[in-house]
């Protein structure tokens, strides 16, 4: 029983740490586009638009 509790606690800690790490990474990454008509878009990681712009930006940062 004690082993099981320890395992559950460890699993919960691992999930919490993973989510914290993921959230931090997501907060750091974003893309924004403004247009001539005054409108703008904010793209979050995981969307197709963001991944497209991020690929171009990564290549620019490597160059």
Partner 1 sequence: MDVAQALSELTELSSQVERAVVLDADGSVLGSTLDDGAAAERLAEAARELLAAASELRTSGDEVTRAEVELSEGAFFVLREGGRTIAATTGPKPTAGLVAYDLRTCLHGLGEAEKPKRKRTTRKAKEEAAD
Q: Which residues bind partner 1 (CB under 8 A)?
A: 25, 28-37, 39-41, 43, 49, 52-54, 56-61, 63
Note whether 4 and 23 are within 8 A (CB): no
Q: What are phi and psi of 42, to 5 degrees?
A: -120, 125
Q: Which residue has the tokens 């914290």?
A: 20
CB of 17 to partner 1, least distance (A): 18
CB of 50 to partner 1, least distance (A): 8
State which residue, 8 or 26, has the beta carbon closest to partner 1: 26
CB of 18 to partner 1, least distance (A): 16
Q: What are phi and psi of 41, to 5 degrees?
A: -125, 140
């Amino acid at each position: 029983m004690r082993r099981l509790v320890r395992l559950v606690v460890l699993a919960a800690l691992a999930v919490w740490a993973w989510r914290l790490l993921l959230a931090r990474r997501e907060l750091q990454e974003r893309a924004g586009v403004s247009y001539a008509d005054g409108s703008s878009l904010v793209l979050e990681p995981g969307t197709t638009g963001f991944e497209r712009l991020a690929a171009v930006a990564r290549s620019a940062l490597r160059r």
